[in-house]
Amino acid sequence: MSENKRIDELLKTVEKSLGKDVFIGTGTDDRAIKKMVSSGIPVFDKITKGGFKRGGIHIFSGAFASGKTFLSQKLIASMQQQDGVCAFIDSERRYDPEWFALTGVDISKLIVIRPLTGEEAFEATEILIKEKADVVVIDSFASLLPNQEAEEEEISPTIGLQARLLSQGLRRLVPINDNTVVVATNQMRQDIGTGYHRGIQERMSGGVAQYFYASLIVKVSRRGDITIPIGGDSTVVEVGEDGSEDTNRKNRRKVGFMLECLVTKCNYAPPFQSCQVPFNFYTGQLDNVASMVDLAISLNVIERKGAWYQYKGEKFQGRQGVIDWVKEDPTRIEEIKSVVL
């Protein structure tokens, strides 16, 4: 009996026992290979080898106002451009239609759900997954209220309730999800050190189960301000050469910050890679050209010597000089993109 014939017979035997609703196939079966969904941010797609995996759970963690929800909005906008169905579970009550529209989201096609409890949030997510929604964003895990805690008349200690909620909720989502990109935001909390781990430790709110179920965990943080001269053109942004905050704040105002994404866990790409993207909170957009230039500099495609940069015989003073030169000609943008992405 040939090896392939034996495999076919085993597949038929298992299928007969478990039924056709259960996926049974070889590793080359198209149903076993989950497709990727673009984040809408080219440099982010590069460090994650395509963006987000369908059927996976993805978490953005970080401090307040670091850009976690904004990244999920860019994913929604990117999926809507491909006629995908997207939902936003607003447990934090932060949904702002003007801000979402500014960042590129078509709010007329966005499903917004405001659950009262964490159990309702997971029930809504489960329904959306079964109905083959393309993207579901839960904002956030930290704000999900366990039903038992909601029913308490007075505030009382409820140790482990949220951790159990996340563990049970994620355990229900994993086996039924083959198509939907589930994205959740979460906060970083300080864990006071014990005798074994002195000092302040940081971890995500809601227990450790989410670390195991997540296919991708990205730590989001702010790395320096983007400023412009007061009275200047708001479309032209500048940032310190080292990515740090401007030391000379006179006659300048903040219009954004450098948004850094550090992959701390990834099941489908090498972890601990990072990217930085300039984010303007007046336009609600990311400067993808600037982020590609930064990536080209880090890869030494664009050579840096002090404050001077060089690319194919062209010399520039300052990072902004390189960015302006690249933006002058669309063919230069495509050339840099083809090299670094």
How many residues are recorded in the chain?
341
Confidence of residue 171 (pLDDT cuts 50, 70, 90): very high
**pLDDT per position as a tens digit, 32-71:** 888 999 998 999 999 999 999 999 999 999 998 899 999 9
What are the b/e assignments for 123-162, b being 16+ CB within 10 Å? ebbbebbeeebbbbbbbbbbbbbbeeeeeeeeeeeeeebb
CA-wise closest residue to 67 among 309, 297, 260, 290? 260
Pairing of strands 57-62, 181-192: parallel
pTM of the model: 0.86
pLDDT tens per residue across span 68-90? 999 999 999 999 999 999 999 99
Which of 319, 334, 186, 338 is CA-nearest to residue 258?
319
CATH fold group of domain 31-225+255-283: Rossmann fold (3.40.50)
- Which has more pLDDT, 236 or 116? 116
pLDDT, residue 247, reads 46
108 within 8 A of 97, measured Cβ to Cβ: no
Give start and end residues of each alpha helix (H) in the chain: 3-18, 42-47, 68-80, 97-102, 118-130, 147-151, 161-173, 209-213, 288-298, 319-328, 330-340
* Selection from 147, 156, 158, 69 nearest residue 115 by Cα: 147
DSSP 153-211: SS----TTHHHHHHHHHHHHHGGG-SS-EEEEEEEEEEEE--SSS-SEEEEESS-SHHH
The residues, ordered by sequence, that sit 6+ positions from 63 with a Cβ below 8 Å of its Cβ are 187, 188, 221, 222
Q: How far, in Å, CA of 215 to CA of 52, rounded? A: 9
- Write the pLDDT tens digit of every residue in 229-278: 776 554 444 455 444 444 455 677 888 898 999 999 999 999 999 998 88
Q: What is the CATH number that goes with domain 287-341?
A: 3.30.250.10
pLDDT at residue 234, as a whole number: 45
CA dist., res. 163 & res. 153, Å (int): 21
Label the pairing between strands 314-317 and 308-311: antiparallel
The shares of helix, strand and coil residues in the chain, as percent rounded to the nearest 5, are 35, 25, 40
Is residue 44 within 8 Å of residue 72, measured between CB atoms?
no
- Yes or no: say if 109 and 135 are a contact pair by the CB < 8 Å rule: no
pLDDT of residue 245: 42
DSSP character at residue 34: P
- Tens of pLDDT along 182-232? 999 999 887 665 556 566 678 888 889 999 999 999 999 998 888 877 765
**Cis peptide upstream of residue 91 (ω within 30 degrees of 0):** no
Number of Cβ atoms within 10 Å of the Cβ of 331: 9
pLDDT score for 26: 83
Give the residue with greater pLDDT, 155 vs 136.
136
pLDDT of residue 80: 96
Helix and strand numbers (H, E) in the chain are 11, 15
Question: Domain ranges in the chain?
Answer: 31-225+255-283, 287-341
